[in-house]
Structure formats: C-alpha cells, structure tokens
Amino acid sequence: MPLATVIQDHGRLDGVQRVLFGSGLQFWLHRILFLDALSYLSHGQLSLSLDRWILVDIDDIFVGERGTRLHEEDVAAMLASQAALQRLVPGFRFNLGYSAKYYHHGTSLENQGDDALLRNREHFNWFCHMWNHQQPHLYNNVTHLESEMMLNKQFAMEHGIPTNSCYSVSPHHSGVYPVHEPLYEAWRKVWDVKVTSTEEYPHLRPARLRRGFRHRGVMVLPRQTCGLFTHTLLLERYPGGRHRLDRSIQGGELFQTVINNPINVFMTHMSNYGNDRLALYTFESVVKFLRCWTNVRLASAPPLALADKYFQLRPDELNPLWGNPCDDIRHRRIWSKSKWCGTLPRVLVIGPQKTGSTALYTFLAMHPSLVPNLPSPTTYEELQFFNNNNYLKGLD
C-alpha cells in the first residue's frame, strides 16, 4: 500500500479542516502543495494568482574578454532558443543591455558575433548599460554621466537599435540604491528612463526580501539571480557541478523564485550565452519543468508594462525605505566617494507635532558632544525629514 506524504483531514470530528504533511518543506513538491493547501483552507484568501511574468535581461552585450564573447553561431542559438521559449511563454524576448565602447573588441570570430547581434537587432529588446560599463556612482558630475549616455545613444541611432524602452540598468546596479541623484537626473534627460531594476534593495540577501520602490519618477523593480554570473561559462566548472544547476532548475532555488514571485526580472550576462550556453539551457529547462509540474501561466512583457503590473500588485512598496548605506558592505562599494558615514545622524528625535519633541531636541543640542542639524529655512525649527516632501527626496 503506498504511503501518502500529504493528507487532507475533512474535520468530520471537530469541524476543523486540515492538511497534514508527513515531512518537511525541503522537498520542492511539498512547497507547492503547501501553497495550494493555504489557498484551499483559506477559501482563496491566502492565495497567489497563477500568472507569472518573466523578463530575462542580458547585461554586458559587447563587453567581455577575448575568448568569452559570442560567436555568430551563438547568436543563431539565441534566436532558436528565443523562438522555442516564445511558444511556451507568450511575448518572450531577450532584453539586451549594451555597452557600445566595447563593440568589435574581440577576436575576428567574436567581432562577427557582434555584427550578428546587430543584424538581428529587431528580434531583441535593448537597453542602455552605460557606454564604457563604468559605475555611475564614480561620477559626481551629471554632465559627464550625460555625455557617456549620449555616446551609447548615438551608437544605437547609428545602428538602428531602438531607444524607446524607457528602461536602463547600471553596471553592478551602481547608483540605483543607495541612490546616486546624478544618475537619475541623467537617465531622465538622455533616455527618458521610467524603469530600472536592482538586486541591492533593500539588500542582496535574503533574496526573498527584495522589494521595489519609486524614486524621481523611476520605478525600481527587484532583480533576481539565476545562478549564472559573468564567470559562469562552462558546465564542467559550474560551482557544485551540473547536479547543483539541475537541482536549482528542478524544484530548487530558480524554480522557487518563479513560484514565489509573480513578476521576475532575471539578470544574466553575455558570456552565459556563448561557451556552453548555460543561460539557454537554464531557462529552457526551468520553463519546461514549470509547465510540466505546475499550472502557472507564464508570460512576458516589456519592462515598463511589468513595472506597472508590479506596483498594481504591491502599491505599498512605492515609497522607498531608506537604509544606512554604511550598514551593508555591498552598499558602501557602490556609494559615491564624496559621501561618508559621518554625514548621517547617529540619533534621531522622532515624534508628532506638539508633543515636546522640539523641546527635547533643543535641550539635547546644548550638549557639547552633540552637533544638531541646521534649522529648516521653511519651518524655522528642526528639519522635518519624515514628511513626504522631504523624505521622498532621499538621503542626499
């Protein structure tokens, strides 16, 4: 007689329906059944839609050392894989982020791969990834940022690359969060950016706590990883081997990422599509696995449409939650050198109006070891950072 690992108690004795698990949630199928059980027992009150939206970004187009870049046959494989995915994921197109300075910086075969990408430009979506792949937080002058972006835009116009995606991603997600104001200003002027994405808000880990926010009219989506990075070129050198990658696809981290997030923006890199073409294998495999074992409805759309859908689902995330960049070493690495931890207050006096907070603040300011902020020129008293007008401007 087969043993069931999950059984339903109809509650005939005490009137309480239950779903009983005979083992933990480490087994991927139990996690799916757990979500179904929550939906069933709550009569749909604790349920997720079956719709899952997927966008696959390919950063670093034209960037890469010789020997790691795309050949012409790799581009053909991308097109074939994209066509196969489109049959399973309506609207699917690879989203290419390019840095034009490095066009034709490879071997002869790799330069032919660059040309193949441009010949097939209309089959892909495109976005700016900075002309020279430089991190925006290293620029304190917005004019320099604009000139770099204009070089990328000029290249796009000369080669027929669309420039109206309203989407951009900065190298290493620099300047998105912690916010670098010159980046947002240059994005708006040069590219009319309305959407970006980052894996750094509020922190890289744990990934399940990544959120979105809106700043200066730009909607920031949480970006997900898929286990592939710039150095992930060959299957035989994949950390943990093929077994680890397949485990992520077949019910593991990548599979669970799609299941748990209605909207997924995945980060990949150009090098993942050459060499052993691990990205093509990964996404074709996970889509087939999802289609085989679940009832989720997969689809894709351009970034602006996905951002609108995301914040319709999660309007509570529109306002950012500012954190201290000094508390996260990854944030310090992508924070402008002109800023330092000592500029942020070590003590906050917080309270509603007319409750004595101003008096407390005044008394504290008398202490020789405490340096207060300057009075606000509009309220003639302490800076009221947490009202909407000030808070939404950010820490700068």
CB 298 within 8 A of CB 50: no
Residue 395, pLDDT above cutoff 90: no
Task: Mark whether 102 and 244 lie in a shared domain.
Answer: yes
Q: Would you state the structure tokens that stand for residue 88, as one six-digit string?
A: 């399973």
Residue 81, pLDDT above cutoff 90: yes
Residue 1, pLDDT above cutoff 80: no
pLDDT digits (tens, 9 = 90+) for 313-326: 999 999 999 999 99
CATH of the domain at 289: 3.20.20.370
Task: Mark whether 232 and 293 lie in a shared domain.
Answer: yes
Residue at 1 is within a domain: no
Residue at 339 is within a domain: no
Mean pLDDT of 20-31: 91
Task: Mark whether 273 and 388 lie in a shared domain.
Answer: no
Task: Mark whether 372 and 291 lie in a shared domain.
Answer: no
Residue for token pair 């104001």 = 181
Task: Mark whether 108 and 164 lie in a shared domain.
Answer: yes
Q: Confidence class of residue 341 from pLDDT cuts 50, 70 and 90? A: confident
Task: Mark whether 22 and 113 lie in a shared domain.
Answer: no
pLDDT at position 28:
94
DSSP-assigned letter for residue 19? E
Task: Mark whether 301 and 372 lie in a shared domain.
Answer: no
List all residues 6 or more positions away from 93 whose beta carbon is below 8 Å from its beta carbon: 82, 86, 123, 124, 125, 300
Task: Mark whether 144 and 258 lie in a shared domain.
Answer: yes
Residue at 336 is within a domain: no
Q: Which of 101, 189, 194, 354 does the annotation list as catalytic?
A: 354
Residue at 278 is within a domain: yes
Mean pLDDT of 121-147: 97
Q: Confidence class of residue 372 from pLDDT cuts 50, 70 and 90? A: confident
From 269, 299, 317, the end of a domain falls on 317
Task: Mark whether 73 and 133 lie in a shared domain.
Answer: yes
Residue 380, pLDDT above cutoff 70: no
Residue 265, pLDDT above cutoff 90: yes
Q: Confidence class of residue 170 from pLDDT cuts 50, 70 and 90? A: very high
Mean pLDDT of 192-220: 98
Q: Confidence class of residue 83 from pLDDT cuts 50, 70 and 90? A: very high
Task: Mark whether 128 and 32 lie in a shared domain.
Answer: no
pLDDT at position 50:
97
β-strand pairing of 18-21 with 6-9: antiparallel
Distance, in Å, from the CA atom of 255 to the CA atom of 75, rounded to the nearest integer, reads 26
Query: Which residues pair with residue 222 across a beta bridge?
Result: 198
Residue at 337 is within a domain: no
Residue at 334 is within a domain: no
Whether 339 is a known active-site residue: answer no
Closest CA to 30 of 11, 10, 54, 5: 5
For the entire predicted model, the pTM comes to 0.93
Task: Mark whether 295 and 256 lie in a shared domain.
Answer: yes
Range of the domain at 15: 6-42
Residue at 368 is within a domain: yes
pLDDT at position 153:
98
Q: What are phi and psi of 139, to 5 degrees?
A: -100, 120
Q: Encode 196-229: b = buried (16+ Cβ within 10 Å), e = exposed.
A: bbbbbbbbbeebeebebbbbeebbbbbbbebbbe
Please, what is the average pLDDT of the chain? 94
Task: Mark whether 237 and 112 lie in a shared domain.
Answer: yes
Number of domains in the chain: 3
pLDDT at position 382:
64
